[in-house]
C-alpha cells in the first residue's frame, strides 16, 4: 500500500480526488506511434512479443478490434514481426516502444514488464479515447462489448494472508483493465503509484487495488469470469494464459496455435515490398500520431509507385511500416526464395541476400530506380551507361519542358534570382547529414565548401562562387554558412530560384546533388566531386586541384557535352527508371507534363 506521506490528489471526471504517490520513476521516453481510435492494448518485452503477440493480434483482429502493442527494448526481429503482423491483419495495428531503465535486477525487470502497460496507458488515452488493457498472453475469443462506464477492473476476493502486500494484490486480477479518456486521472494515478513503489512482484495489482478503492462505484465497471477466464470456457470474451497454463493447458495452446498462423501466411508470397509509412516521418523522431489528410505530392509518388509494383509482381505482399523499423531480419522470417524490394537503403548497409532489390525516388519525383546494389552513386546501373548507344532527344526534351514549366523536387521561390556582377559558379548545398553524403561522397560538405571558398579567394580571374542553402533544412546550413562568411569572393543565398540561377552561371559544382542532374537539362557544365547516378555524363572534379577542375570546365566541348547529356537521359529514362504509376506500365516520362 502506498504511504500517505507526501501524497497529493488528482482530480478528474471520475469523481472525487484520487490520492496517488508523488512522481518517482523517471518519465518514460516513448517512441513509435499512438493510435487515434479505441484499442485493445498489451505491453511486453521482446521475448514475450515473439512468443505471444501473433496469437494476441490475430485473435483481436478476428474479433474486430483495433490493436496497440508496446514493447520495451524491441529487438530487430520484433520490429520485423511487427511489420508482418501489420501486413497480414485487417484491423488497425500500431506500436510504441521504450528502453528498459538501467540498473534493474532480473526480478525488478520482470516486475517492470508486468507493470509496463499501466505506465504507458496515460500516454494512450488522450488520443485513443477508450483502451482495454490486456495481458499479452490473452486470446480475444469474440467481439468485445466495451463497458459504458469510464473505467473498469476485475475485482477478486482477497486471500487470507498475513502479508499485507499479497492480500492487497489478490484483490485484483490485472489481466483486464478498462479506461476511457474520462478516467485519465485514474490511469495517471495508477502509473504514478507504480512509479513510487519498489519493483516487487504484484506491484501492478497493488497499485490497481489502491487506486480503484478510491473511485466512486458509479464510475466503475466490474469484469468477472463471464468476460475473462483462465479455465478457457466456451463463451467468455477473453482467455488469459495465467501462470503455467500458458505452457501446459492443451485447450489454450490449441486455440493459440489456431490463431498464430503468420509462419503459414508468409509462405504465400513470392515478392515482399517494404513500403515506408508516408503519413509519419521516415526517421525515428519520438512519439508520433498519424494525422488524416492528403499526402504531400512528393510522398504521393511513393504510394503510387508501391501500388504499381504490387500490380505488376506475382504473389506480392506490402509490408507498410515506419521506415526506421525496417531491418534485414525480416528476410529470415520468410522462405529463402522470397524477393524483397527495400526502400531508401543499399546492400552495403542493409546487408540483404541475393534476392533483395533496392528502390529509391529520383530527383524527378514520379521516377524511381530499382537496383541490385542500391541507389544514386551506389547503384549497379551507374556504370552500365554506354555513351555510344543510339539515342533520341525525346526524354531530354520532355524533362526540360518539365523544369521550364516550374517543376522541381523541392519548392523554389519562383522567378527570384540575383546578379553577382561577374561570372560565377553556382553551388547548391546539400544536407551535411544526408545519406547520399554519408554513403556516396569521399568529402564532407564542410570540407567541400572550405576548399571552394579558399580557391575562389586566391585572386586572378577566378569566378565568384554562389552557394545556395538547402530549402528543406536551412538550420543545418549554419556550419557551412559560417565557413562562407570568412571569405570575400563568395556569396551565400537562400531566396533564389535554382532554375533562374543555373542558366546564368558558368558551371554548377556539386558533390552529388540531384540539382546537378537537373542542371544537365540546361546544357551548362556540371562538375561532381562524389558518386552519383549521372557521374558518367558530367565533368569529374578534383577538390585537391581546383585549378585543373576549372580548366576542364573551360576546355570542355559544348557540342559533345550536350550530345552526351541527351544520350545519358535517353538511357536513364528508358532503361533505368520506372514510373510511379498505378498502371505500372507507363513510360518514365509520362508524368513530366504534370510537374
Our CA angle for 356, 362, 366, nearest 5°, is 100
DSSP 489: S
Rounded distance between C-alpha atoms, residue 499 and residue 486, angstroms: 27
Structure confidence at residue 595 (pLDDT): 28
Ordered alpha helix ranges (H), 444-571 = 445-456, 478-484, 498-501, 514-520, 546-555, 558-571
Taking the C-alpha atoms of residue 592 and residue 50, their distance in angstroms, rounded to an integer, is: 46
Give the pLDDT of residue 5.
27
Contacts 24+ apart (CB under 8 A), 244-248: 246/52, 246/137
Backbone angles phi, psi at 346, to 5 degrees: -135, 165
Q: Which of 33, 52, 35, 36 minimizes the C-alpha distance to 44?
A: 52
List the chain pLDDT tens, one digit each, 595 residues. 223 323 334 445 565 455 544 433 457 899 999 999 999 999 999 999 999 999 999 999 999 999 999 999 999 999 999 999 999 999 999 999 999 999 999 999 999 999 999 999 999 999 999 999 999 999 999 999 999 999 999 999 877 665 778 888 888 989 999 999 999 999 999 999 999 999 999 999 999 999 999 999 999 999 999 999 999 999 999 999 887 888 889 999 999 999 999 999 999 999 999 999 999 999 999 999 987 889 988 999 999 999 999 999 999 999 999 999 999 999 999 999 999 999 999 999 999 999 999 999 999 999 999 999 999 999 999 999 999 999 999 999 999 999 988 888 777 777 788 888 999 999 999 999 999 999 999 999 999 999 999 999 998 889 999 999 999 899 999 999 999 999 999 999 999 999 999 999 999 999 999 999 999 999 999 999 999 999 999 999 999 999 999 999 999 999 999 999 999 999 999 999 999 765 443 444 433 332 2
Distance (Å, whole) CA 12 – CA 517: 59
Contact 582, 311 (CB under 8 A): yes
pLDDT computed for residue 580 by the predictor: 79
Of 204, 323, 328, 216, which is closest to residue 275 (Cα–Cα)?
A: 323
In the DSSP assignment, the letter for residue 149 is S
Alpha carbons 80 and 86: distance in angstroms, whole number: 10
User: In 10 A of CB 270, how many CB atoms?
Assistant: 16
DSSP letter, residue 136: T
Q: Which residues belong to CATH 3.40.50.2000 in the chain?
A: 394-577
382 and 535 Cβ atoms separated by less than 8 Å: yes
What SS3 class is residue 41?
strand
**What count of Cα atoms within 13 Å lies in the side-chain half-sphere of residue 533?**
28
What is the second-level CATH architecture of the domain 29-263?
A: Alpha-Beta Complex (3.90)
User: pLDDT (tens digit, 9 = 90+) per residue, 410-419?
Assistant: 777 777 888 8
Burial readout 428-446 (b: 16 or more C-beta within 10 A, e: otherwise):
bbbbbebbbbebbbebebe
pLDDT tens, 543-583? 999 999 999 999 999 999 999 999 999 999 999 999 976 54
d(CA 457, CA 82) in angstroms, rounded, equals: 55
How high is the pLDDT of residue 17? 55
Q: Kindly report, as residue ranges, where domains of CATH 3.90.550.10 are found in the chain.
A: 29-263
Q: Which CATH number fits domain 394-577: 1.10.1660.10, 3.40.50.2000, 3.30.460.90, 1.20.120.530?
A: 3.40.50.2000
> Could you tell me if residue 530 is left (phi over 0), alpha (psi between -120 and 50 degrees) or otherwise beta?
beta
Amino acid at each position: 500500500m502506498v504511504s500517505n506521506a507526501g501524497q497529493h490528489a488528482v482530480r478528474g471526471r471520475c469523481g472525487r480526488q484520487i490520492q496517488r504517490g508523488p512522481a518517482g520513476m523517471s518519465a518514460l521516453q516513448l517512441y513509435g506511434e499512438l493510435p487515434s481510435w479505441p484499442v485493445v492494448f498489451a505491453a511486453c518485452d521482446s521475448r514475450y512479443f515473439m512468443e505471444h503477440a501473433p496469437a494476441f493480434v490475430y485473435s483481436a483482429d478476428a474479433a474486430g478490434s483495433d490493436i496497440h502493442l508496446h514493447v520495451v527494448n524491441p529487438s530487430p526481429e520484433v520490429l520485423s514481426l511487427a511489420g508482418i503482423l501489420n501486413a497480414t491483419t485487417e484491423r488497425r495495428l500500431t506500436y510504441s516502444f521504450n528502453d528498459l531503465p538501467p540498473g534493474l535486477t532480473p526480478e525488478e525487470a520482470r516486475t517492470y514488464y508486468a507493470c509496463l502497460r499501466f505506465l504507458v496507458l496515460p500516454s494512450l488515452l488522450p488520443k485513443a479515447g477508450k483502451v482495454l488493457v490486456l495481458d499479452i498472453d490473452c486470446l480475444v475469443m469474440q467481439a468485445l462489448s466495451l463497458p459504458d462506464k469510464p473505467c473498469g477492473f476485475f475485482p477478486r476476493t482477497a486471500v487470507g494472508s498475513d502479508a499485507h502486500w499479497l492480500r492487497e494484490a489478490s484483490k485484483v486480477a490485472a489481466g483486464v483493465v478498462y479506461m476511457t479518456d474520462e478516467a485519465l486521472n485514474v490511469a495517471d494515478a495508477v502509473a504514478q503509484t507504480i512509479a513510487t513503489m519498489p519493483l516487487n512482484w504484484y506491484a501492478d495489482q497493488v497499485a490497481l487495488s489502491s487506486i480503484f478503492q478510491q473511485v466512486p462505484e458509479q464510475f466503475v465497471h466490474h469484469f468477472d469470469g463471464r468476460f475473462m477466464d483462465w479455465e478457457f470456457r466456451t463463451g467468455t470474451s477473453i482467455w488469459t494464459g495465467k501462470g503455467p497454463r500458458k505452457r501446459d493447458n492443451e485447450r489454450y495452446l490449441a486455440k493459440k496455435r489456431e490463431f498464430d498462423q503468420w509462419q503459414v501466411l508468409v509462405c504465400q508470397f513470392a515478392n515482399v515490398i517494404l513500403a515506408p509509412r508516408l503519413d509519419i516521418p521516415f526517421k525515428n523522431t519520438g512519439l508520433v500520431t498519424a494525422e488524416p489528410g492528403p499526402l504531400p505530392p512528393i510522398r504521393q509518388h511513393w504510394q503510387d509507385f508501391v501500388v504499381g509494383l504490387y500490380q505488376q509482381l506475382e504473389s506480392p505482399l506490402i509490408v507498410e511500416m515506419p521506415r526506421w523499423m525496417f531491418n534485414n531480419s525480416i528476410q529470415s522470417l520468410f522462405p529463402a526464395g522470397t524477393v524483397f524490394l527495400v526502400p531508401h537503403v543499399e546492400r552495403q548497409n542493409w546487408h540483404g541476400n541475393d534476392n533483395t532489390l533496392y528502390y529509391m525516388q529520383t530527383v524527378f519525383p514520379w521516377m524511381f530506380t530499382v537496383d541490385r546494389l542500391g541507389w544514386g552513386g551506389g547503384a549497379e546501373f551507374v556504370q552500365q551507361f554506354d555513351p555510344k548507344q543510339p539515342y533520341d532527344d525525346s526524354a531530354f526534351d520532355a524533362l526540360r519542358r518539365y523544369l521550364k514549366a516550374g517543376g522541381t523536387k523541392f519548392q523554389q521561390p519562383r522567378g527570384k534570382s540575383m546578379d553577382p556582377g561577374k561570372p560565377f559558379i553556382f553551388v547548391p548545398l546539400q544536407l551535411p547529414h544526408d545519406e547520399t553524403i554519408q554513403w556516396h561522397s569521399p568529402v564532407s560538405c564542410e570540407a567541400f565548401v572550405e576548399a571552394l571558398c579558399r580557391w575562389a579567394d586566391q585572386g586572378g580571374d577566378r569566378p565568384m562562387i554562389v552557394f545556395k542553402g538547402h530549402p528543406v533544412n536551412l538550420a543545418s546550413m549554419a556550419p557551412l554558412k559560417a565557413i562562407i562568411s570568412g571569405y570575400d569572393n563568395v556569396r551565400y543565398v537562400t531566396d533564389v530560384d535554382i532554375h533562374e540561377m543555373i542558366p546564368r552561371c558558368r558551371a554548377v559544382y556539386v558533390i552529388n546533388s540531384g540539382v546537378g542532374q537537373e542542371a544537365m537539362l540546361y546544357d551548362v557544365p556540371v562538375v561532381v566531386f562524389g558518386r552519383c547516378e549521372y557521374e558518367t555524363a558530367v565533368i569529374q572534379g578534383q577538390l585537391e586541384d581546383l585549378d585543373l577542375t576549372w580548366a576542364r570546365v573551360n576546355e570542355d566541348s559544348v557540342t559533345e557535352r550536350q550530345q552526351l547529356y541527351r544520350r545519358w537521359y535517353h538511357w536513364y529514362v528508358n532503361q533505368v527508371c520506372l514510373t510511379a504509376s498505378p498502371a505500372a506500365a507507363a513510360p518514365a516520362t509520362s508524368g513530366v507534363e504534370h510537374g
